[in-house]
Amino acid sequence: MELSGYLQILKRRKLVVIVTLVAALVVAVAISSQLPATYRATATLRMLTSTSGSADYLQYDVRYAERLMNTYANLATSQPVLDELAQQLNLAEAPKATVSMITNTELLEIAVEDSDPELARDAANTLSAILIAEARARYEELSKATSDTLSVELAQSQADLEQTRQDYEAALGADYPDAEQIQILRDLLTLREGRYTTLLAQYERIRALVELQAPSISVVEPARTPRTPSQPQKPLILGLAGLLGLSGGLGLAFLLEALDTRIYSKSQIVSLSGSPILGEIPALSRQRRAGFFSDFSIQQEAVHRLSVSLFPPEAIRNRRSARQVLLVTSATLGDGKSTVTANLGVAVARSGYKTLLIDADARRPALHRVFGLPNESGLSTILAGETEARLGETIHPSAYKRLHVLTSGPWTPDFFALLGSAAMADLRRTLLEHFDVILIDSPAFLAVADGAILASLVDSVLLVLRLGHVRRDTLLALLEQLANLDIASIDIVLNCTPGGDAHRDYRQKTKASPRSVQRKKTGPAERPDAQDAAHQAADAPAEE
């Protein structure tokens, strides 16, 4: 299917898409309004990057800093810290807290969510204070343990050094000094002095390093009282609902299109019928009742083109046409066949043919209302032989030159039998002696059997189909029945087709033409009083 086909489907099903979208948004609004409001307060902390090396040369350990930040982030949401938070705030349970690291920074964000905005603020600030105090406590504990270990070892080394120095001095001051013992003590003293010096330097270096590596956590921005709730996020909910509603509406539209058996395109009709479309009558721009199309309208021009296709002007010379008796029918009710019949009759009569319209739909007659004619007698009374009036008095002249109308007359239960009687065949022969073209307005073909009887009396059938109204199975059934009747010619005209804008500008110029206005006022082809009556009748309701 081409893109234009999908666009046509969406145009036809736009109401489904709109209703689905609106329904999804309404449900989203209803649900979001019922959700409890949650406020989010955020405090920002800074943790300085740890250093390594000596006091003279510092090296920043970024990887260690990331591990340390992860440690404190997990520590902040650990159960002991949350229990302490609940205790300090006098709560039975601590509110929900999350800690996140801002990428490529030394910053930590501590966020607390609660239904009370002030409680969320206090909890975020309190949790920040607890985290800072915990970091300092752990540092002091580690620093004390390291310092105590080194202090003990340094004190022991100093004591050993003092003892060795005393022994060496005592050996030197003896009455009978032992040279070998003095040498041993001198070497031991030198060794212990070196060890003490090394331990002292190591002790000072470690103390400096511990001081450099001390975690520095501070509050950059304390939490403030949130003014608007963070949850529910109504714009996000509405956006997702709109997206889901639109997707669901599109899916539902295409699903309904797949399940719909109505015909919406000319190509479908051509494919099913195997016949080309003889004409197209555009849909009216506004809703109106069945009747005559406005002068110079695109609908009237379409009917004129249809009349030329059905009854070529060159056939007027011998006053005979291949479609001398034409049956106008439709698949079902509502396709507009009666409107097409009336307007086609006017167009054929204007072409020069002496034309007769016969309303053979006694159940739902329409032509007498369109032309403003009585219907006390007509086709049914003539076939039944119940009228004393002559045929010439039963056929009514219309407001248009060369156009006459034979109304249906009252319906009788045996109207179907009358249509198939010898009287109907005799009437056909009689009428052909007086008229060049006879158009028969038949009931909807599949609704009753009258159309099948009439089809055997005509030269051709004009099938009026309305796009978006007729269904595939209905059209196939109609074509199958017409094929069984062995009709010489079956033509198809589409009614109420979209489009027709190409004629609009020309129509405006034509309506403004002084010559056309003058011709309309003084032309001999129409009687002004009858013409007004016909246009008034066009506003009367018609069944088809």
Q: List the one residue out of 298, 295, 264 whose CA is nearest residue 284.
A: 298
Measure the CA–CA gap between 448 and 526, rounded to whole angstroms.
Answer: 37
Answer whether 43's CB lies under 8 Å from 223's CB.
yes
pLDDT in tens, 365-395: 999 999 999 998 889 888 888 655 567 778 9
Could you write out the DSSP letters of every residue in 162-184?
A: HHHHHHHHHHHTSSS--HHHHHH
pLDDT in tens, 187-214: 888 888 888 888 777 777 766 656 655 5
Could you write out the DSSP letters of every residue in 487-520?
A: -S-EEEEEEEES--GGGHHHHHHHHT-HHHHHHH
Could you report how far apart the first and last alpha carbons of the chain are, in Å? Answer: 33
pLDDT tens string for the chain (544 positions)?
Answer: 578 778 878 888 889 999 999 999 999 999 888 888 899 999 998 877 655 555 454 555 667 677 778 888 888 888 888 898 999 999 888 898 998 888 888 888 999 999 899 999 999 999 999 888 887 777 666 666 666 677 777 788 888 888 888 888 888 877 777 788 888 888 888 888 888 888 777 777 766 656 655 557 788 899 999 988 888 888 888 999 999 999 999 999 889 888 877 888 788 888 888 888 898 888 876 545 557 888 888 888 999 999 988 888 766 656 566 678 999 999 888 888 999 999 999 999 998 889 999 999 988 999 999 999 999 888 988 888 865 556 777 899 999 999 999 999 898 888 888 888 898 999 999 998 889 899 999 998 888 888 888 988 898 999 999 888 888 888 888 888 888 887 778 889 998 887 655 555 455 555 544 444 444 443 333 433 333 433 333 333 334 5
3: its two tokens? 């893109």
Answer whether 224's CB lies under 8 Å from 42's CB.
no
